[in-house]
Structure 1
Amino acid sequence: MTQALSALAPSGTVRPNRLSRRLAASCFAVAAFVATALPMAAQARSAPESFADLAEEVTGAVVNISASTTVEAKNRTLPQLPPGTPFEDLFEEFFNRRGQGNGDTPRQRRSNSLGSGFVIDPSGIVVTNNHVIGDANDISVIFSDGTRLKAEIVGKDSKVDLAVLKVKTDKPLKAVKFGDSDALRPGDWVLAIGNPFGLGGSVTAGIVSARGRNIDSGPYDNYIQTDAAINKGNSGGPLFNMKGEVVGINTAILSPTGGSVGIGFAVPASTAAPVIEQLRQYGETRRGWLGVRIQSVDDATAEALGLGTARGALIAGVDEKGPAKPAGLDVGDVIVRFDGKEVKDSRDLPRIVASTPVGKTVDVVVVRKGKEETKKVTLGRLEDGEKQANLQQPSTDTPTVTRQALGLEMATMSEDLRRRYGLKDDQKGVVITRVDPNSAAADKRIQPGDVIVEVGQEPVSSPADVTKRIDAIKSQGRKSVLLLVANSQGEVRFVALSVE
């Protein structure tokens, strides 16, 4: 080190022996500073000398899952050959040998998959991923001692990718418990155990790389990211903390090669445990339902709504038969707290609502026209709400008048415009007939045939209403205006556009 620094110093300016003394003194000072500046807890933490004791403690509860699906395969027909051709006997012998003759008896084909799981109840309750078992009609659970038991499905949930199985056993099984995944921090050690590539029980170690990852796999994405090696076959296996508690269920990997590149994802125990309890109790999920359609809040929308900073979930639609309607929630409200939990962005709300018990009355804090209000909502059941029809808009009909603003050419609703753009008979608002391709409105994917329902959270029915609201917002010193825009199917969304 001294020689390298010396070689880089200008000739005759610093002698090597003096530089050595200075460097040694500096290194000592830096080391002393680090030792005194770091918290004692940080200094005390170090990598485990071995994970062997932990692995030995929990491995007995980790199982391999073998799932087989029997499907009917279509028979191939023999090529149509002229009678007496030399190849007739050859083709017939070939296809019959492969079981693909012209018989009417349908053939069956078995599809197999391998994965991992773990026991959570000594009576024989096993947890794995839903995608491991799929539509299997023959499921076996293989234990670390080689014992193989048939399993039946207690319940499964595709939205969080979980399944609960039960095996019959004449003795208590080794089981593990869920831990507090919310207490995990990036940098904490974790241990993954599973059945990669069908090799059998394998142990890998790593750290928590991140929390709250959204990989667009479902509506409740909130994954733990880890660099512990997770490969095909690890799906459904447990992710342990250093106490031997399950803090995650290994579910997915991000990999261009199909193998581990140090980016694996696990469903947090805090998300999985309530779902598993519902599947055990009811054989299905019973998630809370609010009955609103939401969208995220960007900086421009936050400015237009007077929120200060981008936060919360913006209500873009309210189900007429949902719990939110009688509670007084309305389009344009921004939900910032739900049942005492902060809603930082729109992704938080579905997860919080779904985990709240059906029938519970909760406080919902919304920002409406710049002021916070609290509404009480009694939650319904999501599975019932999903069966209901979409929102419908009120009706109107006025003479046609056109005007331009914000790069948009607008017209009052008319029967001719309804026919031209395929708008519903009960659609209300101002029809957009042209969009300047160089405008911010075009960048926000507004297009002809869309309908402006509200401007600045006030209903509009004519182009004059639109321009009047825009002028009023400008006079308030606002930089953006918030439009509520509906497409031809009546689906609405908020769009913030600059008025400068």
Structure 2
Amino acid sequence: MKKTISLLFLSLISGAITLVGYKYFFESSTLQNQQEGVQSTSTVPQLPTHTNTSIAGIDFTEAAENTVHAVVHVKNLSYVQTRSNPIMEFFYGYKGQTQAQVGTGSGVIITEDGYIVTNNHVIDNASELEVTLNDNQTYKAKLIGTDKQMDIALLKIDTDKKLPYIIFGDSDNLKLGEWVIAVGNPFNLTSTVTAGIVSAKARNLSKTGIQSFIQTDAVINPGNSGGALVNTRGELIGINTMISSNTGSYVGYAFAVPSNITKKIIEDLLEYGNVQQAVLGVSGFELNNLIAKDLDLSLTQGFYIQEVVATSGAKQSGLQKGDIIQRINDKPIKTFVDLKTILNTKRPNDKVNVTYNRDGIENTIEVSLMKVENTTISYNGFEFESLSIEEQNKFKLNYGLKIKTVKNPKYAPYKEELEGGILLAINGKKVQTTNQAQRIFEELGNKQKIKLEVISASGEVLRIIV
């Protein structure tokens, strides 16, 4: 018994000594090392940490409050003719009727006197346009102009009072991961605010490679089209235009037209009545690893020039086949969309600094941009193209378009006579360029009768109604 008590006492004494030693030697040493900044000798890595989260210091309230007052509800009233039923018409005299359809979307006030920007698809085919402000006041709106390619439209309402509006920000300065706010009227819910980040820039959603969208994960649904995408300072950096979804509702991807492109379109519509498009005057393709290997190139990014237009500023500045465009105005060019994003904000005769690589050597030159002209246009089964210099000399004309093909079945009997002929005038207006003809056709629409004055392939002057 005494032996057991002795062993128990000895164990208690040993434990106490061990505890005191640990406290004195280890904990005091660790504390001293921390105070003196001595790094631990432990093999466990010390990972850097940040005490603040990125969203903690961000306040969306002021930007949201200012934006909702400048975002409007746009209503598109159009009329459609219902199909007639021959049986109902025969027995009961019933004929097709005209029915009204109402489409809705959003818009953004950009000036205090009532200019509003929205999407082209929001107002497309409208017979009447109506705008409701955030204070529930409603106005009739007038269409100033559109750019179908970039899905932008400009409206105007007349009011005696000064309206709240949003100032433009610089969409080129957007950074991936930057917080943005989307404001619109989804599902007829007025002034809905959602937040997200910039997921991508210069996103291409077009087979032609022309579009250049901002991608965001801010929630956007039907009705948000034409609404505002703003940064945390409340500056307009995009016009919400579409979602990518199999269901028609938001699933995580939303897109907006950058503000710099939108601003340029609006300025063109106000100053020129149409959008001024500029091009470098080169054609080619973007590089990747496989193409670079086939062409035996060391560069795998950039725009490879395959052809230079003879009359372009690019040709005059010395660009040639085989040059690889690396930057324009010091902005990197990795894809064709990067190139178009810059050119979409420029006008004919603007000058840009082009940095290109030729045989491994970089050079920078100034290039004057040229006006883009459509070489062919189509209307109601007719396809027209610009006249060549030889054709102008042959027909002794300094205006007109060549009738390339006729696919309208109504004019099939006259196909041989019309194809190869010359379109001289539309409703009495002489046709100078394909762009001019395109604008006339767009203004008149497909439902109106149009008188075309043409010279047939045999040289006979004809007047036909389309």
Classify the TM-score, shorter chain.
Answer: 0.5 to 0.7
Gaps of 5+ in 1: 1-24, 82-87, 393-500
| 8 A contact 2:75–2:130 mirrored in 1 | yes
Q: Which of residues 271, 274, 282 in structure 1 aligns to 2:264?
A: 274
Q: Which residue of 1 aligns with 2:172?
A: 182
> Which residue identity lines up with residue 124 of structure 2 in the other structure?
G
- Alignment match, 1:67: 76
Which SS does the other structure have where 1:182 is aligned? helix
Partner of residue 284, structure 2: 294
Q: State how far apart, in whole Å, the 1-side matches of 2:330 and 2:179 are.
A: 31
Q: 103, 127, 130: which is aligned to 1:113?
A: 103
Other structure's SS at 1:277 match: helix
Q: Tell me, yes or no, if structure 1 residue 78 matches structure 2 residue 87.
A: yes
- Gap change, CA 1:208 and 1:367, over 3 Å in 2: closer
Question: Match for 2:307 among 293, 309, 317?
Answer: 317
- For residue 53 of structure 1, report the CA deviation from its aligned partner: 4.2
Judged with a 3 Å threshold, the aligned counterparts in structure 2 of structure 1 residues 54 and 217 are, in CA distance, closer, same or farther, namely farther
SS at match of 1:257: coil
Bigger Cα displacement from structure 2, 381-390 vs 362-371:
381-390
The one-character-per-residue Cα deviations of 1:263-290 (angstroms, maximum 9, x if unpaired) are 1111222332222222222221112122
Q: Which residue of 1 aligns with 2:19?
A: none
CA gap 1:173/1:240 in 2 versus in 1, 3 angstroms: same
In structure 2, the residue matched to 1:46 is 55
Q: Give deviations 1:92-145, integer Å, cap 9, x for gaps.
A: 2xxx6xxxx2x6xx7433332110011010000101111111121211111111
Deviation at 1:383, TM superposition (A): 4.2
Which letter does structure 1 place at the counterpart of 2:255? F
Whether the 8 Å contact between 1:316 and 1:332 is mirrored in structure 2 is: yes
Rg (Cα) greater in structure:
2
The separation in 1 between residues aligned to 2:105 and 2:331, in whole angstroms, is 35
Which runs of structure 2 are paired with 1:46-195 in the superposition (5 Å)?
46-47=55-56, 51-78=60-87, 92=92, 101=94, 107-195=97-185
Residue by residue over 1:444-464, the C-alpha shift from the partner in whole angstroms, topping out at 9 and shown as x without a partner, is xxxxxxxxxxxxxxxxxxxxx
Confirm or deny: 8 A CA contact 1:319 1:390 kept in the other structure.
no
Q: Which amino acid is the alignment partner of residue 190 of structure 1?
A: V
Q: Which residue of 1 aligns with 2:241?
A: 251
CA distance in structure 2 between the partners assigned to 1:205 and 1:213 by the alignment: 19
1:380-399 deviation line (CA, Å, top 9, x unaligned)? 1124677876999xxxxxxx
Per-residue deviation, 1:157 = 0.8
Residue equivalent to 1:368: 358
Hey, what does 1:337 align to over in structure 2? Answer: 327
Alignment correspondent of 1:209: 199
Alignment partner, residue 421 of structure 1 = none
The offset of 1:320, in angstroms, is: 4.2
Aligned position for 1:440:
none
**Aligned alpha-carbon RMSD (Å):** 3.5
- Indicate if the aligned counterparts of 1:67 and 1:133 stay in contact, CA closer than 8 A: yes
Look up the match of 1:354: 344
1:237 aligns with 2:237: no
Q: Is the 8 A contact 2:286 2:334 kept in 1?
A: no
Asked if structure 2 preserves the Cα contact closer than 8 Å seen for 1:191 and 1:203, the reply is yes
For 1:421-455, what per-residue CA distance to the aligned partner results, in whole angstroms no more than 9, with x for missing partners?
xxxxxxxxxxxxxxxxxxxxxxxxxxxxxxxxxxx
Q: Quote the Cα distance in structure 1 between the aligned partners of 2:344 and 2:202.
A: 16
Distance of 1:354 and 1:64 partners within structure 2: 28
Amino acid at match of 1:295: F
| Distance in 2 of aligned mates of 1:265 and 1:330 | 36
Distance in 1, Cα, partners of 2:180 & 2:106: 17
Other-structure match for 2:215: 225
| Aligned residue runs from structure 1 range 348-427, under 5 A | 348-383=338-373
The structural deviation recorded for 1:59 is 1.1
Distance 1:223 1:33, change over 3 A: farther
* Contact 1:164 1:280 survives alignment (8 Å): no
Contact 2:203 2:337 in 1 (8 A): no
Equivalences for residues 22-41 of structure 1 within 5 A: 37-38=49-50
Structure 2 counterpart of 1:199, from 180, 189, 202: 189
Q: When the two structures are superposed, what TM-score results if normalisation uses the length of structure 1?
A: 0.61
For residues 324 and 303 of structure 1, the distance between their equivalents in structure 2, rounded to whole angstroms, comes to: 26
Distance of aligned partners of 1:141 and 1:335 in 2 relative to their CA distance in 1, 3 Å threshold: same
2:62, 2:234 within 8 Å by CA — same for their partners in 1?
Answer: no
Given that residues 179 and 245 in structure 1 are in contact (C-alpha distance below 8 angstroms), is that contact kept between their aligned partners in structure 2? yes
| 2:67 maps to amino acid | V
CA shift, 1:166, in A, is: 0.6
Asked whether the equivalents of residues 78 and 102 of structure 2 are also in contact (C-alpha less than 8 Å), the reply is yes
Decide whether the 8 Å contact of 1:291 with 1:385 is kept in 2.
no
1:227-257 per-position Cα deviation (integer Å, ceiling 9, x unaligned): 2210001001001211111122111111122
Q: Percent identity?
A: 37
* Residues 107, 216 of structure 1: alpha-carbon distance in 2 compared, 3 angstrom cutoff: same
Structure 1 residues 369, 127: closer, same or farther in 2, change over 3 A? same
1:176-197 residue CA offsets vs partner (Å, 9 max, x unmatched): 1122333333333222111112
Q: CA deviation at 1:316?
A: 2.7
Go from structure 1 to structure 2 and tell me whether the alpha carbon gap of 1:364 and 1:189 turns closer, same or farther (over 3 Å shift). closer
- CA 1:190–1:47: 2 relative to 1, 3 Å: farther
